[in-house]
Amino acid sequence: MYNFKNLTTIIIAVCFLAGCAGSESNVTENTEQTTSEAAETTDEAPSFETVLTTLSAGTNDIKVEFAGLTRRLLITTPTSYDNQKAYSVVFCFHGAGGKADGQSKRWSKHVDARDIIVISGEAVQPQAKWNFKDNFHELEVDDVAYITKVIEALVDGKVADPNAIYSTGHSSGGLFSWRLAKDSDLFAALAPQSCGMTKDAHEPDENTKQVSVMQVIGDQDKSFNGSVSERATMYSAVARIEMWRDFNDCAVEPVITTVGEKIEVATYASEAGIEVVYCKVFGEGHHVQKPLRNIADSLVLDFFLRHKKQSDNLL
């Protein structure tokens, strides 16, 4: 004879256990889902602007995404860095085959004495060349748009003084600085070094704003007298200075000074205060000896910091 009371108790117990098992399964599933969502939130990369405006004192090794590519910047701030202050910013660009580290080491030693921020850019690797001319390199990268976005983020974040942004570079980086002089109005002054200036690419035109430029070059540099090849023709040092002197409405006759025995500086000035400066290093080739290079770099910084961008060119 069946004991219905016992059977009922068994059925209730089985149902209770099944319910507990289902609840435990739901809890586990919900916990895993929450953990997964948290992981996704944690892994999400900070925005371009956030990365560039949350800087620490000293050197910040930063990677940002732009146009589907990871780009690297070494941003060095003074040891007394104040995140409530907008600083003068010097961009420096390496030569072909280089990385950001070399130019960063070269220029960052000046940040404390000059109270500036130095930003050493790195071209897309492994190509490691700046896009100084369209349709020239195998990988076509819009470096002008990239640097423009970096500057806009720094200005919007009140890290950079929009009136005091400068560019210099060696070789390929110098050529890129010539391109920025022509195609961008965000810079107060630029100083291409140890490089040519490309025909049909870097000539100022009706869309170019007048801007102070300084060329530093050894008179034995491969690009000093210009060059002609199937891929690019380079203006001589004298020709490029004359072109920008004329464009900037500077005086025909320069003021010439000498620094030591091997550096001559010719300064052409306009009535509006714009300068075209030709810094020639005698007896030096593509890589100027370090003691002379250090002197030239100090002259470049002096040149930069006496120039502010005209108010009608502001972002």
- Residue 275, domain CATH: 3.40.50.1820
Nearest of 246, 278, 280 to residue 260 by alpha carbon: 280
- Are 53 and 154 in contact, with CB atoms under 8 Å apart? yes
Tell me the CA distances in angstroms from 149 to 43, 196, 243, one per residue in order.
24, 26, 29
CA distance 268 to 275: 6
Residue 42 lies in a domain: no
Residue 295 lies in a domain: yes
- Are 87 and 161 in contact, with CB atoms under 8 Å apart? yes
Spans of the chain, pLDDT less than 70: 1-45, 311-315
Full domain range(s) for residue 289: 48-313
Residue in the block written with tokens 């072909």: 96
The torsion region of residue 283 among left (phi > 0), alpha (psi -120 to 50) and beta comes to left
Residue 228 lies in a domain: yes
Residue 37 lies in a domain: no
Beta bridge partners of 74: 61, 120
- Amino acid (1-letter code) at residue 126: P
Residue 111 lies in a domain: yes
DSSP string covering 201-227 = TS---TTPPP-EEEEEEETTSTTTT-E
Tell me the CA distances in angstroms from 88 to 15, 99, 126, one per residue in order.
73, 23, 30
Q: What is the pLDDT of residue 44?
A: 57
Q: What is the pLDDT of residue 312?
A: 54
Residue in the block written with tokens 């090794």: 61
pTM over 0.95: no
Q: What is the pLDDT of residue 314?
A: 41
Q: What is the pLDDT of residue 66?
A: 94
Q: What is the pLDDT of residue 106?
A: 98
Q: What is the pLDDT of residue 45?
A: 58
Domain count, the chain: 1
Residue 35 lies in a domain: no
